[in-house]
């Protein structure tokens, strides 16, 4: 855990950087505009005022240290980081937005102001703990297109540094309309306050479950230093766990496949349809969520199929770029819409497939360009430091990036 002084300096550096970054304001305004369109019942809210009010509420909230003893030094650390950010940027709203926007959407808008459309799928993460060249990870970024965003390839390939603790290796957004609101609202970074003596995935999962009100929602894959893995599916207050098969784990967005989480989401989905006067099945959300579940099941099938043999980086990339079946089952998105009333479409904006360790560690990295889906573009090849280029890697890549 950071000291109070370290937390203040961390916040101040982030505040200074935000104040100097023109894209920070563009993104903040873009997500607020998205929220106004997505949650029409919240149209009367002044988001800037609401975010500042939420910041004050969360900072003043009680934190029961008998239930959460790991947080004894945490309160002062959090307050120092928030003050540092404010001192760095000089703008109360910027500070409040930085620390609370994601929480505001999931714990206030999703719970109190049911949106007109389902939040569209964002991301796919895949992990292979073993492979022909060693452990591998794949990650897609799926989102609506924002013209001001530019995506440049990474400057460096995988570092090759061994994991010294349990590490997130793949993620996807996932949330529930009409979700529950947590009783505990003080900001807690569960990964910062986690005791160092937690070494096993079982103890790690148990700790996350005890702190489940403080983090998420989302679907995340974690791996330990021995490359064992687990996929966690998370709503605001609930958590499902899916252990690895054949050393592999994977998640994608806007769906849960652990039985208890799947049942909870479908129950809440129906409530959201009723609240909005939707037909139970002929509505954009039902069609979209059914598609997400199909996509998730296809992803796990493809991953299990690859893991049953000897996984390769080519096999991983074929999963991340999968478009062999029609939308919505396909993994890689190309601006498709599932229902006639859909008002926004998702694209896979970037995709990476990496060998993480050893003498052949490298990343194949794609990005959307123009109106082309990324699987119609050539990837960049980014080498890890000290990795020697091989002739067979040149085929089909546009550029080799050496550290």
Residue with tokens 């073993």: 130
Band of residue 119 on the pLDDT scale cut at 50, 70, 90: low
Residue 144: the pLDDT is: 85
Q: How confident is the model at residue 120 (pLDDT cuts 50, 70, 90)?
A: low
End-to-end CA distance of the chain: 31
Mean pLDDT of 357-385: 96
Tell me what pLDDT residue 344 has.
77
Question: How confident is the prediction for the chain on average, in pLDDT?
Answer: 95
Beta bridge partners of 365: 352, 380
Token pair 């990650």 in the structure block, residue = 139
Q: What element of type H or E holds 19? A: helix 4-20
pLDDT value for 358: 96
DSSP code at position 69: G
- pLDDT tens, 268-282? 999 999 999 999 999
Is the peptide bond preceding residue 151 cis, with omega within 30 degrees of 0? no
Contact partners, residue 170, CB within 8 Å, separation at least 6: 124, 125, 126, 127, 137, 138, 139, 220, 221, 249, 250, 251
Burial class (CB in 10 A: 0-12, 13-18, 19+), 238: buried
Helix, strand or coil, per DSSP, at residue 150: coil
Confidence of residue 146 (pLDDT cuts 50, 70, 90): confident
SS3 250: strand
- Alpha carbons 98 and 278: distance in angstroms, whole number: 34
CA distance 98 to 89: 11
pLDDT of residue 167: 97
Beta partners for residue 69, in sequence order: none
* Threshold 0.85, pTM exceeds: yes
What six digits make up the tokens of 155? 């400057």
The residue-averaged pLDDT of 73-99 equals: 97
Residue 61 pLDDT: 97
**What are 36-64's pLDDT values in tens digits?**
988 989 989 999 999 999 999 999 999 99
Which residue ranges make up each domain of the chain?
Answer: 4-112, 124-179+217-401
Say if strands 399-401 and 229-234 run parallel, antiparallel, or are unpaired.
unpaired
Helix axes 4-20, 74-89, angle to 10 degrees: 30
pLDDT in tens, 215-230: 999 999 999 999 999 9
The top-level CATH class assigned to 124-179+217-401 is alpha beta
- Residue the block writes with tokens 């808008």: 109
Mean pLDDT, residues 330-338 taken together: 92
Per-residue confidence (pLDDT) for residue 121, from 0 to 100: 66
State the pairing for strand pair 362-367/347-355: antiparallel
Work out the widest C-alpha separation in the chain, in whole angstroms.
60
- Per the model's pLDDT, the better-predicted residue between 147 and 66 turns out to be 66
């Amino acid at each position: 855990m950071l000291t109070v002084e370290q937390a203040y300096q961390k916040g101040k550096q982030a505040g200074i950087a935000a104040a100097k970054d023109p894209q920070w304001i563009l993104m903040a305004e873009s997500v607020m505009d998205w929220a106004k369109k997505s949650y029409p019942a919240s149209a009367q809210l002044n988001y800037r005022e609401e975010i500042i009010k939420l910041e004050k509420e969360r900072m003043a909230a009680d934190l029961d240290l008998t239930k959460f003893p790991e947080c004894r030094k945490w309160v002062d650390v959090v307050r120092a980081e928030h003050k540092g950010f404010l001192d760095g940027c000089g703008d109360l709203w910027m500070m409040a937005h930085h620390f609370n926007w994601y929480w505001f959407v999931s714990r206030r808008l999703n719970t109190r102001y049911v949106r007109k459309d389902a939040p569209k799928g964002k991301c796919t993460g895949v992990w292979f703990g073993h492979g022909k060249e060693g452990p591998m990870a794949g990650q897609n970024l799926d989102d609506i297109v924002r013209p001001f965003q530019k995506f440049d390839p990474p400057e460096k390939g995988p570092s090759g540094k061994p994991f010294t603790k349990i590490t997130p290796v793949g993620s996807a957004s996932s949330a529930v309309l009409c979700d529950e609101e947590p009783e505990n609202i003080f900001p807690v970074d569960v990964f910062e306050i986690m005791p160092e003596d937690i070494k096993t995935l079982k103890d790690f999962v148990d700790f996350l479950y005890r702190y489940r009100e403080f983090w998420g929602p989302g679907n995340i894959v974690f791996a330990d230093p021995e490359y064992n893995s687990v996929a966690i599916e998370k709503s605001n207050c609930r958590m499902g766990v899916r252990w690895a098969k054949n050393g592999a784990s994977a998640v994608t967005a806007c769906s849960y496949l652990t039985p208890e989480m799947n049942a909870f989401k479908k129950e809440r989905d129906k409530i959201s349809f009723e609240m909005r006067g939707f037909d139970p099945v002929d509505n954009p959300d039902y069609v979209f969520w059914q598609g997400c579940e199909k996509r998730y099941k296809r992803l796990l099938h493809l991953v299990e199929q690859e893991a049953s043999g000897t996984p390769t980086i080519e096999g991983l990339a074929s999963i991340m770029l999968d478009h062999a079946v029609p939308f919505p089952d396909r993994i890689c998105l190309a601006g498709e819409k599932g229902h006639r009333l859909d008002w926004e479409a998702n694209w896979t904006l970037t995709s990476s497939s990496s060998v993480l360790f050893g003498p052949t560690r490298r990343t194949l990295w794609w990005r959307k360009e123009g109106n082309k889906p990324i699987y119609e573009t050539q990837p960049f090849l980014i080498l890890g430091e000290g990795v020697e280029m091989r002739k067979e890697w040149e085929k089909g890549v546009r550029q080799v990036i050496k550290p």
